[in-house]
Amino acid sequence: MGKGFFEVPVAINEPINSYAPGTPEREEVLKTYKAMYNSTVDVPLYINGKDITTGDTATMAPPHDHKHILGTYHKAEKKHVQEAIDTALEARKKWANMPWEQRAGIFLRAAELIAGPYRAKINAATMLAQSKTIHQAEIDAACELIDFLRFNVQFMTEIYAEQPESTSGAWNRLEYRPLEGFVYAITPFNFTAIAGNLPASAALMGNVVIWKPSDSQVYSAKVVLDVFREAGVPDGVINMVMGDPIMITDTVLASPDFSGIHFTGSTHVFKDIWQKIGTNIHNYKTYPRIVGETGGKDFIVAHKTSNPRQVATAIARGAFEFQGQKCSAASRCYISESIWNEVKEYLTADINSFKIGSPENMENFVTAVIHEGSFDKLASYIDNAKKDDNVEIIAGGKYDKSEGYFIHPTVIKTEDPKYTTMCTELFGPVVTIYVFEDAKWNETLKLVDETSEYALTGAVFSEDRYALETAVRALENAAGNFYINDKPTGAVVGQQPFGGARASGTNDKAGSKLNLYRWISPRMVKETFVSPIDYKYPFLG
């Protein structure tokens, strides 16, 4: 910034459209959904501003209608990944020196494109690709991605304004350089907003990026890419490659210029990547930044003083919205015995009222899980629970993949607080309940803390301040996002920075300044105005 201390627009959260019957946005998104459903797309790789078709393709289909083909995407060979790296490094020469206000302008423009002309398209694509209801698509693909883009621009300017003290004789300036090399962004299927944010946040800070979206999200990733292109992200700054994740990752990690990874996905994949980075450490020009937000086994714990209706609602929404495929979804619940019967009544009534099917029918609250692998895994856990004498299925338990990958929202009650579904991340609409004795609040909190390797989100319900305070302390390290009398899902950018520790990730809090710090390497510049001309200090006499 050479010619002014510019102020960016104050970031505000994008208002969420209701899509209630009769609203124009509902009509528009349904029309867009139908048009997209009835046509096909071919998604090429995107390298250095060019669409690259490789001829090696895979098909894309909606999880709720898996025989219907939405189109194809092209898979990269090693040479394409190498080309993406080489051209990104070339693009870096200009991009890393681009004044920040130009970078801000591009990503603010991307936010407005999503808020306006692309809103229906990005939502419809997310409904089709990931089988989200319109509400889930709106809070993810439209609002959260807009928020990430707007707030990150504001956070960037706040970081740049953080400067050290200077004296009259010397001026200290901190320059927030991008990393030397390129950043690799690997994104999960479950949030279009995360798919957009992982490459965009690093690029905003002046980095060039190789972005590998999930195979199951390419269809909506393409809309994100189109927004970036239209917003004016220069050629080579964000490159999108699809295909074999191991080949792509091994090629990227073999580059001496690899300088950071921005990952969201499952814990075992991230740990494997970390290990590979360790193995390659002697080859890198710089220590790579390793940022990964990973799995969860998120809890709700309800004290005897909590309101049963509120607890049941938190489970109904927290465990089953988007079919439990949010990393923050409640999947293990600990309920005090004196309120359990009431919670159970409300919860089963809620579940029995859920409508299940395609997101195109907006009466449906639950749609399909992402793919056959996920469906089969969930079905096998449900089957095992049916066979186990120590557990009881109190709701759901049905599944059907003839048309779409539909798993009915399932509640398992167990007498064993360490039962497999209390510990393992299933990533689907299955929640397990353990009922504890009212008097065992402290013991239960210890159990909550020690049951899982993860520490992503968790919620405590109580009307008793002492019980709440005990829980807040006892569960200090059990969740990076902790909720009091609320469901454990639904973090909002700028309000609840998101991320967890233990096996849930490096806790670099997407949607906050903390995350952006990972994509810069500060340079301290001290300028002395009149340099000394004698080495001798006064103490030398």
186 binding ligand NAD? (CB under 6 A): yes
Which amino acid does the sequence have at 312?
A
Encoded tokens for 27: 């009509």
**Given the residues 83, 293, 360, 425, the one annotated as active site:** 293
Contact map string, positions 64 to 103, toward ligand NAD, x by CB under 6 A: ----------------------------------------
| Distance set, CA 27 to CA 134, 222, 410 (Å) | 12, 23, 32
Closest chain position to ligand NAD (CB)? 265
Count the site residues for ligand NAD by CB under 6 A: 32
244 binding ligand NAD? (CB under 6 A): no
Sorted by sequence, the CB contacts under 8 Å of residue 211 that are 6+ apart come out as: 185, 187, 198, 199, 238, 239, 240, 241
User: What is the C-alpha separation between 516 and 98, in angstroms, rounded?
Assistant: 17
**From 44-52, 83-91, 197-205, 242-250, span contacting ligand NAD (CB under 6 A):** 242-250
Which amino acid does the sequence have at 298?
D
Nearer to ligand NAD, 136 or 190 (CB): 190
The Cα angle at residue 363 between residues 360 and 366, in degrees rounded to 5: 80
> Considering only CA atoms, which of 240, 234, 184, 246 is closest in space to residue 213?
240
192 binding ligand NAD? (CB under 6 A): no
Nearer to ligand NAD, 421 or 504 (CB): 504
193 binding ligand NAD? (CB under 6 A): no
φ/ψ bin of 248: left (φ > 0), alpha (ψ from -120 to 50), beta (otherwise): alpha
> Considering only CA atoms, which of 84, 58, 67 is closest in space to residue 214?
58
Report, in Å, the least distance between residue 212 CB and ligand NAD. Answer: 6
> Considering only CA atoms, which of 29, 9, 10 is closest in space to residue 18?
29
User: What is the C-alpha separation between 261 and 155, in angstroms, rounded?
Assistant: 20
201 binding ligand NAD? (CB under 6 A): no
Report, in Å, the least distance between residue 214 CB and ligand NAD. Answer: 4
245 binding ligand NAD? (CB under 6 A): yes
**From 306-314, 330-338, 391-399, 493-501, span contacting ligand NAD (CB under 6 A):** 493-501
Sorted by sequence, the CB contacts under 8 Å of residue 420 that are 6+ apart come out as: 381, 384
Alpha carbons within 13 angstroms on the beta-carbon side of residue 155 total: 27
243 binding ligand NAD? (CB under 6 A): no
Residues 259-288 that bind ligand NAD (CB under 6 A): 264-266, 269, 272-273
358 binding ligand NAD? (CB under 6 A): no
Q: Residues 181, 359, 409, 505: which binds ligand NAD (CB under 6 A)?
A: 505
C-beta of residue 46 within 8 angstroms of C-beta of residue 221: no
Which stretches of 191-230 are assigned E, i.e. beta strand? 209-212
63 binding ligand NAD? (CB under 6 A): no
| Distance set, CA 93 to CA 86, 96, 164, 486 (Å) | 12, 6, 28, 47
Active-site annotation holds for 527: no
Residues 102-161 that bind ligand NAD (CB under 6 A): none
**Given the residues 83, 138, 321, 327, the one annotated as active site:** 327
Task: Quickly count: other Cβ atoms within 10 Å of residue 309's Cβ.
Answer: 14
Nearer to ligand NAD, 103 or 212 (CB): 212
Task: Quickly count: other Cβ atoms within 10 Å of residue 393's Cβ.
Answer: 16
Nearer to ligand NAD, 264 or 444 (CB): 264
> Considering only CA atoms, which of 380, 301, 378, 381 is closest in space to residue 343?
301
Mapped onto helix, strand or coil, the DSSP state of residue 541 is coil
Q: Residues 189, 219, 340, 406: which binds ligand NAD (CB under 6 A)?
A: 189
Nearer to ligand NAD, 19 or 482 (CB): 482
User: What is the C-alpha separation between 261 and 252, in angstroms, rounded?
Assistant: 10
Task: Quickly count: other Cβ atoms within 10 Å of residue 355's Cβ.
Answer: 11
**From 1-9, 174-182, 292-300, 344-352, span contacting ligand NAD (CB under 6 A):** 292-300
**From 29-37, 83-91, 198-206, 497-505, span contacting ligand NAD (CB under 6 A):** 497-505
Report, in Å, the least distance between residue 85 CB and ligand NAD. Answer: 16
Encoded tokens for 166: 């200077």
Q: Residues 92, 119, 150, 212: which binds ligand NAD (CB under 6 A)?
A: 212
190 binding ligand NAD? (CB under 6 A): yes
Q: Residues 130, 133, 197, 214: which binds ligand NAD (CB under 6 A)?
A: 214
**From 72-80, 159-167, 203-211, 495-503, span contacting ligand NAD (CB under 6 A):** 495-503
Residues 400-429 that bind ligand NAD (CB under 6 A): 425, 427
Q: Residues 215, 388, 400, 449: which binds ligand NAD (CB under 6 A)?
A: 215
User: What is the C-alpha separation between 165 and 263, in angstroms, rounded?
Assistant: 35
Residue identified by tokens 């449906």 is 364
Task: Quickly count: other Cβ atoms within 10 Å of residue 476's Cβ.
Answer: 11
C-beta of residue 366 within 8 angstroms of C-beta of residue 429: yes
Report, in Å, the least distance between residue 11 CB and ligand NAD. Answer: 20
Strand 238-240 relative to strand 209-212, pairing = parallel
Contact map string, positions 427 to 466, toward ligand NAD, x by CB under 6 A: x----------------------------x----------
Active-site annotation holds for 327: yes
Encoded tokens for 257: 């210029």
Report, in Å, the least distance between residue 268 CB and ligand NAD. Answer: 8
Q: Which residues contact ligand NAD (rule: CB under 6 A)?
A: 186-191, 194, 212, 214-215, 245-246, 249, 264-266, 269, 272-273, 293-296, 327, 425, 427, 456, 498-500, 504-505
Q: Which residues are identified as catalytic?
A: 293, 327
